[in-house]
Amino acid sequence: MSSTALNCRHGIVCYLPDDPFGYFGWPSIACQADGTIVVAASGFRKAHVCPWGKTIICRSTDNGKSWTSPQVINDTPLDDRDAGIISLGGQRLALTWFTSNTTVYLKPDPQTGWAPELRETGVILDTWTTEMCSRHIGSWIRISPDGHYWGETLQAPVNTPHGFIILKDGSWLYLGKKWDIDLRTALHIHNTPIQACRSMDEGKTWEMLGAVPLPPGLNNDLVHEPHVIELNDGSLLGAIRAHAPLRTILTHSYDGGKTWSCAEDIGIPGAPPHLLRHSSGAIILVYGYRLEPFGQRVMISWDEGKTWQKDLILRDDGPNLDLGYPASIELPDNSILTIYYQALKAGDKTGILYTKWQLPTQM
């Protein structure tokens, strides 16, 4: 597949590579009515997997030219990961995230205990009881009236990095990984489907809808992290991260999420996806690219997802494959601001970066 580099300008939202807790990842972006741009992420971490993740937000009031320092808005006893941020209209925002039981991934050696480089982590994880983890693990939502005060925590039945979308009728449609918990072990059950659910009361209650059928060679263990967009005719287009190999697959629903088409591979070797409707009518799908040269890429549809202009490069200077999770908004001048996590050079902890770019000419 041939690729095309777009004319882009890059910058930094938050980058603290020398801080022991300077690892930031998995961001999302939204814009409030007064023009304030809000980026949410998991931050003040030591590493990709650690017990210290917190939900942070950074704000910009000048279309991304400058950003506030990261502010912690959510810190449960577990690892808080994959923050989604959604505009609810006006100044209102919704935050989504999930909590992870790090004891699943980091364990002491039965004979020698914690390795020297993990002893600090072990001090924390040794205090995590199954009862505590069961109480705090899950997929979560909080709502803010202004982006500063955050309300009660609501539980969601599915999860995905960039959260739910708001349909034209005002209801919330959440296409995500079904979030089943084994409370005996405080573990998320991973072989669950990609499934839609809908809320008519801003997340207080949810109606479970349909699961996405998978083609031969894929099973529920290999699909994660979808995003969805409502098309002009009211149907839904979903994009899903699939593994072995890493790629994005697409599915459609023509009945509000009750049923979905069998997910289809369209030849995009990257994920996870984020979908945005541009004012031109184009649908923009950004994704992380974890083949060399590592970076962030985009594909664009001008005909409601029937065909795609593929493999457009936003950035190809990633020092390794620990990057991605891009998400976009449209700026007042119709340019696009895409944020993601990535390191600037080898050896650095990852931070939250951005790229500003214009839609290419329609092909």
As assigned by CATH, the class of the 4-357 domain is: mainly beta
Check whether the bond before 215 is cis (ω within 30° of 0). no
For residue 239, the Cα-to-chain-centroid distance in whole angstroms is 12
For residue 11, the Cα-to-chain-centroid distance in whole angstroms is 20
Q: Cα separation of 323 and 333, whole Å?
A: 28
Report CA-CA distances (Å) from 317 to 40, 245, 286, 337, 345. 23, 22, 16, 18, 9
List the structure tokens of 332: 């007042």
Q: Cα separation of 333 and 300, whole Å?
A: 19
Place of tokens 């972006």: 29
Reported as a single tens digit per residue, the pLDDT across 116-165 is: 999 999 999 999 999 999 999 999 999 999 999 999 999 999 999 999 99
Place of tokens 């409030």: 32
Reported as a single tens digit per residue, the pLDDT across 292-334 is: 999 999 999 999 999 999 999 999 999 999 999 999 999 999 9
User: Contact 59/51 with Cβ under 8 angstroms?
Assistant: no
What per-residue confidence (pLDDT) applies to 135? 92
* Helix, strand, or coil (residue 242): strand
Reported as a single tens digit per residue, the pLDDT across 300-310 is: 999 999 999 99
**Mean predicted lDDT score pLDDT of the chain:** 96
Q: How many helices (H) and strands (E) does the chain have?
A: 2, 28
User: Contact 275/328 with Cβ under 8 angstroms?
Assistant: no
Q: What is the mean pLDDT of residues 239-253?
A: 97
For residue 252, the Cα-to-chain-centroid distance in whole angstroms is 20
Q: What is the mean pLDDT of residues 279-295?
A: 97
Checking if the pLDDT of 1 tops 80, the result is: no
Give the type of residue at 36: T
Check whether the bond before 293 is cis (ω within 30° of 0). yes
Q: What is the mean pLDDT of residues 331-356?
A: 98
Domain parsing of the chain, residue ranges: 4-357
What is the secondary structure of 287-324 as a DSSP string? EEE-SSSPEEEEEEESSTTSS-EEEEEEE---SSS--E
Look at the alpha carbons of 362, 306, 164, 82 in this order and tell me if their dihedral is positive or negative.
negative
Share of the chain above pLDDT 70, in %: 99
Place of tokens 């005060």: 149
